Chain A
Amino acid sequence: MTSDFLYRLDTSPRALVKLLPQVVRPPADVALQHIQSGTFQRSMSLLVMGTSAVSGLEVAYEHYRGSYSNPIMYTPVILSGVLSIAGAAAFFSRRMARTFLRYTSFLTVVDGLIGFGFHIRGVQRKPGGWRLPITNIVMGPPIFAPLLFGTSAYLGILASYLQREEDFGQQKIKLESAGNGLHKTDWREDIRTGRFQKHLCVVTAVGTLCSGGEAFYSHYKDNFKYRVQWSPLIVTPLLAGAALGAFASETCANTLLPLAAGAAILNGVAGTFYHVRGILSRPGGKKKPLYNTLYGPPIFAPLLFSAAGMLGMLAYLMRRERR
């Protein structure tokens, strides 16, 4: 009886939106339709603007802590500023979205990859190098941070291929013609039509593992002094697993994925609270705000974990690829 009920319980976004109270149902419904048809370029551009500003701030102070000892350390700071501007420009202009935002995003992803290389080199340059991997990963440059820095650029790339809100219902893209051999569908086509759930699941899993890895060695560096420091490590396998599961199964995408993604988002928000509290409880407290932010718990790091959850939640809302 119960299993039959569970079997019939539809937790897809379309079904859930119908359960919402009358007051909020229409806007939620519209938002969902836009997401599922891939017509949310403007909103996504705004999101890119915001996330890029945050990751720019984070990389600015993290690299300040590294004294900008290599001039290349300025590049992510500059690029995230440019990307933020590109996000704003893309909000206003379709052309900007397809050019400025797209190229800046690709450039930023490349910069993230280069940064990843430099951070690997940084670990290698520490005494003992890769022969002392645990010490040097924990004490060296945050190895996955450059990849996480690429998250907003990745969103920028997605945004640049989406349709705009005003395109909704215009049927500009006729997928029906795709099957006739004249027109080959590729990943861009999927993005334009909001069909990139599986793709997003993979990215979610990678992002979660990187972000969870960061949380692991950062909290390890603090000896897991507080039990709550384990929480992102519990959520990490759940979300990464759910995302990979959702890649294989639609059921998983409609059940485990939103639960795990929600947990990650909440975990990040709670983490931000704890990190702020940690900064304030340092010697000098709010009388030394800049110094304590610089050397206290990284104030934006939990939000990066939330960002992984947000990707998962977005994946849940998307339609699946046709193939």
Chain B
Amino acid sequence: MVHLGAMQKIKPPQRIFRDDEEVDYVIVGVGSAGGVLLQRLARAGFKVLGMEAGKFWDTERDWVSDEAGSHQLYWNDLRITGGEHPLALGSNNSGKGVGGGSVHWAAFTPRFHPSDFEVYTRDGVGADWPLSYEELEPYYELLEQEIPVAGPAWYPWGKPHGHPYAPHPMGGVGDVLIKGCTKLGIPVSAGGPVAILSASRGNRPHCIYRGFCIQACKVGAKASTLITHVPDALEHGAEVRDRSMVARISMRPDGRTDGVVYIDRDGRERFQRARAVIVSGYAIETPRLLLNSACPGHEHGLANSSGTLGKYLMAQAGNVVLGRFDELIRMYKAPPAHALTEEFYETDPKRDFARGFAIQTVGPLPIAFSKQMMAAKGLWGWSMRREMMEYNHWAALGLLGEILPWADNRVELAAERDQYGLRVAKVTFRLRDNDKKLIEFGKNKVMEVMHAAGAVEVVQESRYAHLVGAARMGKDPSTSVCDKFGRTWDIPNLFVMDGSVMPTQGSANPGLTIQALAARTADYLITQGDAIFNSASRDMTPPPVCRSLSPPDTFTSGAPHLR
């Protein structure tokens, strides 16, 4: 029996496909997108296999409520980072193991705004999405109900909507954000939107506010696809093959893929036949796998005839502003994610940059806090120790600022190889003028809020959060990797579906949007049926929204809210 949270247990001896048995879909990476795809396709009756490089977690045995002990949740294999503003890789912007990054996300789940889907049209920067907000909206609603999302019943930003679960009570940091914002007349959302249960549902207990969200929630209150979608997928005949690293996607001479070559848990190279392949490895591993799969006819990597594969990688500005208060804050209590404002989200003609940012609560635990103190104040040694004793008096607010997609912010292959002998990813990143102005303005605004809340000392650390892009979707095969359903332009039975398909990123955390896009693609695949496996024709009609494929308990609970 494998524990999934405090109350849920599943029996892992699941269906196991033989290597020579042709499955319908192989999904590479069982994370936010992969978990949802796996569940949908399994329910629809497809033979579906999820390959996951990390392990299938037993939450009681593998996870610890300890900051230092949670590093195995990240992708710690070798990666090379560089450029003028190099990104820190291998921690909160990566994931390994079933559930992927959703295991350790803070679970903020704001939707993107309608404007995010037409950034180029509105502001002349970035790119437009090949789909509109309205096309994705029903999937936002559906996933918010499935996960489910806790938050106010009326949420004013973007397209106003509400949330199916009640907002959470405030922790000390949320109180700081609310005090600061209300003092400055800035509207603020209390208690969500966050994919953490504010009341129990089925075999998942509600949040107990112990604060170890991003160390993986042992309680099972925080949603991850490991506990929300994967159990249902297994029940409906899917297989999750964990500790299996896909090395390359195999191509047939006729330009279609016929499966994946992977390295199993014992280090043997094996081949799994499949009628179609979906790559859900997130913004670094997805382009890396496609690049590593280069073969005759696809010398620059699979699905790269446009030359855009690996390009337009985006991170969000994630500056952390820390404020010291005379009174106790105790920011380790309550989920890090529990209040935010999107008042500065949209382009404001009064400012000298396009797009905007959000301000969110952050609740670093002591190790993260000490790193921030080191970066923000240059503390070391005894001065660090003294500041650490003040930990309970500090509050941390995060900027979440939109950085635009630029072609030379990209993922390439480095010369170095990892433990499987595969070339590792090299990530290059540089900020442009618009990004720098946005960060400067946003950072100052967060500091203003912190001061307004009564902080006696305010410092900040520059950092980045989230990674999306690098295999973007688009309307034009010459400037994008895949179409609006994630189907690659070059190979009719190869799909990309995860954060890497996003053309722009808004200043919303990407998790919910990734899952919504995955559910939509699943509906598309189900509607298309065998055409995916046999035909090269591309049907671009949006699929009808399928509500009958949701996990159990989806529609039996939830409070009244604005739809």
Q: How far is the CA of A193 from the CA of B95 in the complex (A)?
A: 74
Cross-chain contact A66 with B205 (CB below 8 angstroms): no
A187 close to B (CB within 8 Å): no
- Pick from A68, A126, A139, A294: contact of B167, CB under 8 Å: A294
A125 with B556: in contact, given A284-B178, A288-B182 (CB under 8 Å)? Answer: no
Identify 10 new A-B residue pairs, CB closer than 8 A, beyond the known A65-B166, A71-B556, A294-B167.
Answer: A66-B166, A67-B197, A67-B558, A67-B559, A127-B208, A283-B175, A283-B182, A284-B188, A295-B170, A295-B191
Cross-chain contact B178 with A288 (CB below 8 angstroms): yes
B330 close to A (CB within 8 Å): no
A92 close to B (CB within 8 Å): no
Q: Which residues of A lie under 8 Å from residue B558 when comparing CB positions? A: 67-69
A68 with B557: in contact, given A283-B182, A295-B170 (CB under 8 Å)? Answer: yes
Cross-chain contact A67 with B205 (CB below 8 angstroms): no
Cross-chain contact B198 with A67 (CB below 8 angstroms): yes
Cross-chain contact A287 with B167 (CB below 8 angstroms): no
Q: Which 10 A-B pairs have the closest CB atoms?
A: A67-B199, A69-B199, A67-B165, A283-B175, A283-B178, A66-B199, A69-B557, A284-B178, A283-B179, A287-B182
B314-351 CB contact bits vs A (8 Å, 1 = yes)? 00000000000000000000000000000000000000
Q: Which residues of A lie under 8 Å from residue B50 when comparing CB positions? A: none
Q: How far is the CA of A127 from the CA of B60 in the complex (A)?
A: 14
Classify chain A: how many residues form its interface, as a range.
20 to 34
B108-144 CB contact bits vs A (8 Å, 1 = yes)? 0000000000000000000000000000000000000
B150 smallest CB distance to A (angstroms): 7
Contacting B at CB under 8 A, from A44-72, are: 63-71
Q: Which residues of A lie under 8 Å from residue B176 when comparing CB positions? A: 283
Q: How far is the CA of A283 from the CA of B454 in the complex (A)?
A: 12
B164 close to A (CB within 8 Å): yes
Cross-chain contact A68 with B182 (CB below 8 angstroms): no
B263 smallest CB distance to A (angstroms): 39
Cross-chain contact A291 with B179 (CB below 8 angstroms): no
With both beta carbons as reference points, the residue of chain B lying nearest to A61 in the complex is identified as B166
A104 smallest CB distance to B (angstroms): 23
Cross-chain contact B179 with A125 (CB below 8 angstroms): no
- Pick from A64, A127, A295: contact of B205, CB under 8 Å: A127
Cross-chain contact B205 with A288 (CB below 8 angstroms): no
A residues bordering B, Cβ < 8 Å? 63-71, 125-127, 139, 283-285, 287-288, 291, 294-295
State the main secondary structure of chain B at its contact with A.
loop
- Pick from A65, A71, A127, A283: contact of B198, CB under 8 Å: A65
Q: Which residues of B lie under 8 Å from residue A291 when comparing CB positions? A: 152, 167, 190-191
Q: How far is the CA of A126 from the CA of B201 in the complex (A)?
A: 13
Cross-chain contact A288 with B190 (CB below 8 angstroms): yes
B477 close to A (CB within 8 Å): no
Number of A-B contacts (CB under 8 A): 74
Give the one of A66, A69, A127, A285 with max B CB within 10 A.
A69
Q: Which residues of B lie under 8 Å from residue A70 when comparing CB positions? A: 557
B478 close to A (CB within 8 Å): no
B200 close to A (CB within 8 Å): yes
Q: How far is the CA of A126 from the CA of B6 in the complex (A)?
A: 10
B158 close to A (CB within 8 Å): no
Cross-chain contact A67 with B178 (CB below 8 angstroms): no
Q: How far is the CA of A69 from the CA of B553 in the complex (A)?
A: 10
A29 smallest CB distance to B (angstroms): 48
Q: How far is the CA of A67 from the CA of B152 in the complex (A)?
A: 11
B169 close to A (CB within 8 Å): yes
B439 smallest CB distance to A (angstroms): 27
Cross-chain contact B182 with A284 (CB below 8 angstroms): yes
Q: How far is the CA of A125 from the CA of B153 in the complex (A)?
A: 27
Cross-chain contact B170 with A67 (CB below 8 angstroms): no
Q: Which residues of B lie under 8 Å from residue A66 when comparing CB positions? A: 166, 198-199
Q: Which residues of B lie under 8 Å from residue A69 when comparing CB positions? A: 165, 197, 199-201, 206, 557-558
Q: Which residues of B lie under 8 Å from residue A294 when comparing CB positions? A: 166-167
Cross-chain contact A125 with B200 (CB below 8 angstroms): yes
Q: Which residues of A lie under 8 Å from residue B198 when comparing CB positions? A: 65-67
Q: Which residues of B lie under 8 Å from residue A295 when comparing CB positions? A: 169-170, 191
Give the one of A127, A283, A284, A294 with max B CB within 10 A.
A283
- Pick from A71, A283, A285: contact of B557, CB under 8 Å: A71
Q: Which residues of A lie under 8 Å from residue B199 when comparing CB positions? A: 65-69
Cross-chain contact A67 with B166 (CB below 8 angstroms): yes
B523-563 CB contact bits vs A (8 Å, 1 = yes)? 00000000000000000000000000000000011111000
Q: Which residues of A lie under 8 Å from residue B188 when comparing CB positions? A: 284, 288
B214 smallest CB distance to A (angstroms): 21
Q: Which residues of B lie under 8 Å from residue A285 when comparing CB positions? A: 182
A-B contact pairs, 29 of them (CB 8 A): A64-B153, A64-B559, A65-B198, A65-B199, A66-B166, A66-B199, A67-B150, A67-B165, A67-B198, A67-B201, A67-B558, A67-B559, A68-B557, A68-B559, A69-B200, A126-B205, A139-B208, A283-B176, A283-B182, A284-B178, A284-B179, A284-B181, A284-B188, A284-B190, A285-B182, A288-B182, A291-B167, A291-B191, A295-B169
